[in-house]
Amino acid sequence: MSETVSLDFDLKSPIERVWHALTDAAMLSKWTFFDTDDFRPVVGHRFHFRNKPESGWTQVVDCEVLEVDEPHRLSYTWVIVALQHNSTVTWTLTAADAGATRLHLEQSGFDPARKQEIGGAKYGWTAQLGQLQNLLSPQ
């Protein structure tokens, strides 16, 4: 049995804008702790997230796109070979009132015995999604 991190965020941006932030490599690099220059929202496409030097974490995350249902659902693998970690990240977007978007994140496949990884994922995703909210906020 595996553990899942599940988080919900309400963003004051239209679903198309949130989708773009989740699927454009340049945008991903602005709000995540990672850089990516090879992401494409195409099922079967393999890509990498690499940490930014200021994050203090030097690992590479190997990923493969599993599902694309624009602009509602995106799923990809999340594999950190050095840590023997293999999970799946799934984003679900729902249009809300007044041009807002409900964003649901699930990262599944955590080893229940590795509580530190689960806590780290919750903390990391919460911080990154705060950055996303700031990026998408009207200027």
Residue 15 confidence (pLDDT) above 80: yes
Distance CA 129, CA 124 (A): 9
Q: pTM above 0.85?
A: yes
- The CATH H-level superfamily of 3-136 is START domain (3.30.530.20)
Percent of the chain with pLDDT over 90: 77
Residue 55 confidence (pLDDT) above 70: no
Distance CA 10, CA 98 (A): 12
